[in-house]
Chain A
Amino acid sequence: MSNVQTKPLLQVDHLSIGFSQYVKGTQKRIIHPIADMHVEINEGEIVAVVGASGSGKSLLAHAVLGILPSNAIFSGKMLYRGEELTPARMEKLRGREISFIPQSVNYLDPLMRVGRQVQIGLDPRTARAQQEKLFLQYGLQKNDGRLFPFELSGGMLRRVLFATSVREGVRLVIADEPTPGIHPQALSEILRQLKQFAEDGAGVMLITHDIISALEIADRVAVIKDGATVEISEASAFEGNGERLKTEYTQRLWRALPQNDFDLEFKREAVR
């Protein structure tokens, strides 16, 4: 289990998020896309949050960042470095100590030169130099900074997105589905960059539905189903037939992957 010396960077306990919705006429109803979520991330650790679309994994990220829509109601405990994460604190930390790599390159401003977008939030005096250093680090040309997003390829835009999330003193990186169906080369590069964050001492929350690629870099995996954490296991437990996994659901999920015993589900049915 987690090391005793490293203190948890982020602790999410019994998180529940509800939205009020009008059903028929004036009746209001609260729906709970997230009912009971637990996650814990230590410094220098990569935790993969794995679940199908609609399981509420993106909402978890939004809750930690404090960017939920206004009709959301949440309860539960979120601790960051041992202290409670209040909305005011989230706002202070967001983009500084906690950084977010969104799902899509559409999150970039299409009308702003990419160099300037990377400079946002940096110390204005050194911003330019720092941005150029970051571009170098991510294999982008120095004068790429003068280009607009539409002039760059998809892979380069992803690198720009990463560059916007690197800040002095980042302690927690939240990456929301950074690898949707992309080329294996680009995939391994993204994973390498996430790993780099962890090696520099930050905690990384990798939200994805692709267990296999998450396992390449993650230390632990949290499995999410219908807004609740089913299980948190060491990444190394995902091997063989999943005997070391704790819950039956995760075992079945693991074995149902096409890489493993894809057909097992129906063989079981047939026996039953």
Chain B
Amino acid sequence: MPLIGENLGHYYQKDRWIIKDTNLSVAPGEVLGLSGYSGCGKTTLSRILAGYISPRIGRVSIGHKTLERRAFRPVQLIYQHPEKAINPKWRMRDVLIESYTPSQDILDAFEIREEWMNRWPVELSGGEKQRFCIVRSLNPATKYIIADEMTTMLDAITQARIWHAFLGICKSRNIGVIVVSHESSLLNRLCDNIYKVGSGG
């Protein structure tokens, strides 16, 4: 059941369309890239696809069913800044468990150490926190993951490692992935298809 966005359009101020007439679909297990530069609306588009905001026009569906807002959303979004995506007053273990209790395999795949679990968010580096954010989005009920500039703030080595582990798990679970980035060389490395955002708007 593919994730489909049909005829999407959105604006924040009336008649200043950020995205318009956008159609895209991702199949399970597919890796789609969204490319574009700052201010082109790729973050808005990914928030619409993940159900964080409803588009002014158009609809998002998985297998002809529109997304339900109250239940666990099968489309998960991973943000660029992990420090904002984690409650600073929670220990890292609670941050993970808020979503689900991950198996040791997943923790090992992302090299998350047991001792990090009892730490506060401020005591971990950005790359370490981002691993937690990724693991927690890999809930068993997750069907699609949108990675919005997920590794932009990290160094190249960490970036390569995280993507390797992440895509490995997504492939094995047949999770569809949307990679949002301004770096076309990264998208070329990772994606099956690339969609250019903002060519119309």
Residues of A within 8 A of B (CB): 51-55, 154, 180-184, 209, 211-212, 225, 252-254, 256-259, 262-266
Task: Give CA–CA (A250, B164) in the complex, Å.
Answer: 20
Which one of A53, A225, A265 lies within 8 Å of B164 (CB-CB)? A265
* B186 neighbours in A (Cβ, 8 Å): 258
Task: Give CA–CA (A211, B185) in the complex, Å.
Answer: 13
Which one of A209, A256, A258, A264 lies within 8 Å of B153 (CB-CB)? A209
Task: Give CA–CA (A264, B163) in the complex, Å.
Answer: 12
In the complex, B159 has a CB within 8 A of chain A:
yes
Closest residue of chain B to A261, judged by CB?
Answer: B160
Interface range for B: 20 to 34
Q: Would you give the shortest CB distance from A201 to chain B, in whole angstroms?
A: 32
Indicate whether A181 sits within 8 Å of B149 (C-beta atoms), given known contacts A54-B126, A256-B159, A258-B189: yes
Task: Give CA–CA (A52, B159) in the complex, Å.
Answer: 10
Whether the pair B157, A252 counts as a contact (CB closer than 8 A) is: yes
Whether the pair B161, A266 counts as a contact (CB closer than 8 A) is: yes
Closest residue of chain A to B186, judged by CB?
Answer: A258
Q: Would you give the shortest CB distance from A81 to chain B, in whole angstroms?
A: 33
Q: Would you give the shortest CB distance from B191 to chain A, in whole angstroms?
A: 11
Whether the pair B160, A263 counts as a contact (CB closer than 8 A) is: yes
Q: Would you give the shortest CB distance from B131 to chain A, in whole angstroms?
A: 14
- Classify the interface of chain A: helix, strand, loop or mixed: loop
Whether the pair A253, B38 counts as a contact (CB closer than 8 A) is: no
Which one of A52, A181, A263 lies within 8 Å of B38 (CB-CB)? A181
Task: Give CA–CA (A53, B189) in the complex, Å.
Answer: 22
Whether the pair A154, B39 counts as a contact (CB closer than 8 A) is: yes
Q: Would you give the shortest CB distance from B119 to chain A, in whole angstroms?
A: 13
Task: Give CA–CA (A171, B155) in the complex, Å.
Answer: 30
Whether the pair A181, B152 counts as a contact (CB closer than 8 A) is: yes
Closest residue of chain A to B163, judged by CB?
Answer: A262
Which one of A53, A54, A253 lies within 8 Å of B157 (CB-CB)? A253
* A263 neighbours in B (Cβ, 8 Å): 160, 164
* A52 neighbours in B (Cβ, 8 Å): 126-127, 153-155, 158
Which one of B38, B155, B185 lies within 8 Å of A258 (CB-CB)? B185
Q: Would you give the shortest CB distance from B66 to chain A, in whole angstroms?
A: 31
* B158 neighbours in A (Cβ, 8 Å): 52
Task: Give CA–CA (A53, B156) in the complex, Å.
Answer: 11
Q: Which of B115-164 contact A (CB under 8 A)?
A: 125-127, 149, 152-161, 163-164
What are 19 A-to-B residue pairs whose CB atoms are below 8 Å? A52-B126, A52-B127, A55-B155, A154-B38, A154-B39, A181-B182, A182-B37, A209-B155, A211-B156, A252-B157, A253-B155, A254-B156, A256-B160, A257-B185, A258-B160, A258-B183, A258-B185, A262-B160, A265-B160
